[in-house]
Chain A
């Protein structure tokens, strides 16, 4: 028996909106610790990891670990039927091939049940080791989304360079080049507007802007985004879900032309 009651139902809606374009089908794993998801995109370039801890739910009951295969597009359609202020309850019986989403209005005058068929999805979990990243940039998610959007209008890839001066986003396209440098800025009124750069060593990596723009769909989930870079690891774009968990996007870097030229 599974029963998860999430008062802030909009969170779940936002989560789905952030990942449904990247992953079509995914298994939601429910355990005592929380409600999690890990899935790769179809081209195996990006990976999304979602965690909603059990503490974040008003009511969390998971008698046994259960994996529910869902089509994220269909799930998103159902969640769109929920109001932003609705309380969403996820219910599933053991051995059942359906999952039920119950939407309760804040005033409890409207309760809707949506039952969705589950899918058998053959997916594999990837072991993501804990790693020390060369550079960790925390910046306003809206700013990051804006940068990615702007750069994608000029080029296809973005070169993210972290130096002591700051983090530079660069792109090059047919119409020209673009460079956006964000310096560390902690003297702001709101802590969420700060740009914090933790650099152990300079790192420069190239990524496809297409994926980056897809990641930024998770911007509504969090005011801040954390970009962890390491020269030999995929970049991690993390959106923290307040007091509940996170959505992490992993993106494999592209082989830089400079590296090819050097080699």
Chain B
């Protein structure tokens, strides 16, 4: 039974997976296709038919590793890359580093050009994050990475990531970057040094001219800083309320003051609801000036936000006003950080990224609205760039300087929306009042409808 169903949806799944930004997991499959999770897992039986793809280096190496005598320790036998800790999984972390070459190759090959193999690996990797048991039989190095991410994020973020697949990728790529900030223990409490080696290899392999997913791209060593910012910027609007994640980002940004792009993360990670608010700030209009250094990030951001459009569309509409307040919070929070110049640039980035996100988010549902970036100097001499909606929310144009007054302004915007009908009522009543009175007076004078005039029918009955 599962075979038939699986065959029916294979093409559909393939189409979905062909999207580079789509992470497919068993749970995701079972949810989207209303299948039991077992059936969803059977999807990975989709084996590439191309013998060249099947007999890739990974396969050969896996065969070789498994073909070694039981006495010889390799990365499969000692479970050194396995994130599972139980009585049945014995782990030999002291294993020789020579076997690391295997996972390196694996890491390379799992990102092979074939989309089918990509499907396979992705599913496996996500399966690893959802259920630990599959990792035992899965020698892929990516699965280890995923497990480590999960160890960092915790169970609460886990579900969150599944609802936002693109966020999952950003998360994965963020982990090694945070390790530079001395967050090793938090990132990978299990894999330890092996994972560092693994990442080093992965970055070396990421020079693939056709990087398929964010892993390959961000792991490029010469673009490490850019990749970090890239990952973080894509991560920022999707950050969950995980305390650890926020902590990681905070420390990172504070230590890399020179990296402007990380400041974006810092601003976003200050408040719990930042992600939604930040996205909701966005608008269809494009900012007038976009720094060139952010163009690549923004492209990435837009892509990653494509998946979130549907989910966040409601919050976008509702929290538009609130997000403006949050902007001011960003400004105030970032004020004591460092000099004003970087701070302002950070705020600008926030605006720009948000506006970018909103370009994709709200343009179709609200074509009447136009977002305007307004830059002004507040009373403290800071340059403040505001995202202002023009069109329906005309009241947003007149923003006060402080956050509190801004709140009141956003409230007045709501009031203004209610006001026109209310204003019409008094106007209509004022118009109707005199006219009615005049008509009554006229009637009185005319005598046609005199209330004092009796009716003949009240005296004589109909025959």
Contacts and interface: CB of A to CB of B under 8 A. Distances in A.
B462 to A, nearest CB: 5
B458 to A, nearest CB: 7
A254 B453 contact: yes
Interface stretch (A1-9, A42-50, A76-84, A164-172): A42-50
Given A208-B450, A210-B447, A254-B450, A46 B456 contact: yes
B80 to A, nearest CB: 105
A124 B456 contact: no
B463 interface: yes
| Contact residues on B (Cβ < 8 Å of other chain), bracket | 10 to 19
Contacts of B458: 252
B449 to A, nearest CB: 8
Interface stretch (A87-95, A113-121, A125-133, A143-151): A125-133
B49 interface: no
Contact of A127 (B447, B448, B453, B462): B462
Interface residues of A, number: 25
Nearest to A253: B454
Contact of A234 (B448, B456, B463): B456
Nearest to A43: B448
Interface in B439-463: 447-448, 450, 452-463
Contacts of B456: 40, 44-47, 126, 234, 250-252
Interface in A166-220: 208, 210
A233 interface: yes
Contacts of A156: 447
A210 B444 CA distance: 13
A234 B459 CA distance: 7
Contacts of B453: 43, 45, 208, 252, 254-255
Contacts of A127: 460-463
Contacts of B459: 233-234, 250, 252
Nearest to B453: A254
Contacts of A250: 456, 459-460
A45 B455 contact: yes
Contacts of A210: 447
Nearest to A129: B460
Contacts of A40: 456-457
B42 to A, nearest CB: 84
Interface in B176-216: none
Contacts of A253: 454
Contacts of B452: 254-257
Contacts of A233: 459
A148 to B, nearest CB: 15
B463 A252 contact: no
Nearest to B455: A44
A32 to B, nearest CB: 19
Interface string A27-47: 000000000000010011111
Given A43-B448, A208-B450, A252 B462 contact: no
A40 B460 CA distance: 11
A128 B462 contact: no
Contacts of B461: 126-127
Contacts of A252: 453-456, 458-459
A194 B34 CA distance: 108
Given A43-B448, A156-B447, A210-B447, A124 B462 contact: yes
Contacts of A234: 454, 456, 459-460
Contacts of B447: 156, 208, 210
Contacts of A44: 455-457
A156 B453 CA distance: 12
A204 to B, nearest CB: 15
A238 B448 CA distance: 24
Interface in A96-128: 124-128
Interface of B: 447-448, 450, 452-463
22 contacts: A44-B455, A45-B454, A45-B455, A46-B456, A47-B456, A124-B463, A125-B462, A125-B463, A126-B456, A126-B461, A126-B462, A127-B460, A127-B462, A208-B450, A208-B453, A234-B454, A234-B459, A250-B456, A254-B450, A254-B452, A255-B454, A257-B452
Given A127-B463, A234-B454, 16 more contacts: A40-B456, A45-B454, A47-B456, A47-B460, A124-B463, A126-B462, A210-B447, A234-B456, A250-B459, A252-B453, A252-B454, A252-B456, A252-B458, A253-B454, A254-B454, A255-B453
